[in-house]
Homo-oligomer: A and B are copies of this chain.
């Protein structure tokens, strides 16, 4: 049966392993080729059972610092073409996001209904990346941030505006900026107000982040 999708499952919860394992093992078109309570020596385990798709619990205790994300990093580095899907619970978006950065291609909720799970596995095996809109949005933000390689500068700052922005990046307070540039406190505020408008930000931290990530300054 060449069109059977072989799945390896990593989860420290026996209940999950049992229920998910049974579901996967009894579904036509999908076969459970390995089932593990931890991800130590994940490379060896994967090499042994040769899965097409890996399901990895996002929250697994173990020597790999307490979750499955490091296992994803290791596995993805070694086997970049092997799709990994995270198992998680509702509301754990930050770690899902970290997992995606580590190399996972998607995730599914442990309490999704069976048909969704199977559909997601087929999506992944078929080259897709199932994710919810809110996760997708986080990915999009980072994706678009570097979307423009060498395009227009996008934001045009005046000389003085660049000066105060640089000073912000250097961690100076408004008062210290005024001193460095030898202008009044109010002028500093005025420039910063304009910078915030142009960058579409609302505080110094965001301005600095956008500046450094977008290389707005020399």
Contacts and interface: CB of A to CB of B under 8 A. Distances in A.
Q: Assembly of this chain: how many copies?
A: 2
Contact of A171 (B142, B173, B203): B203
Interface stretch (A12-20, A48-56, A97-105): A97-105
Nearest to A151: B73
A88 to B, nearest CB: 16
A203 B136 contact: no
Interface in A198-218: 200-210, 212-213, 218
Interface string A119-141: 01001101111111110110110
Given A94-B163, A144-B101, A130 B124 contact: no
A127, A128, A205 interface centre (most CB from chain B within 10 Å): A205
Contacts of A127: 134, 137
Residue among A102, A124, A169, A180 facing the most chain B CB atoms (10 A cut-off): A169
Interface residues of A, number: 54
A206 B209 CA distance: 10
A170 interface: yes
Interface of A: 77, 80-81, 94, 98, 100-103, 105-106, 120, 123-124, 126-134, 136-137, 139-140, 142-144, 146-147, 154, 163, 168-171, 173, 180, 200-210, 212-213, 218
5 contacts: A106-B137, A130-B133, A146-B146, A169-B209, A212-B212
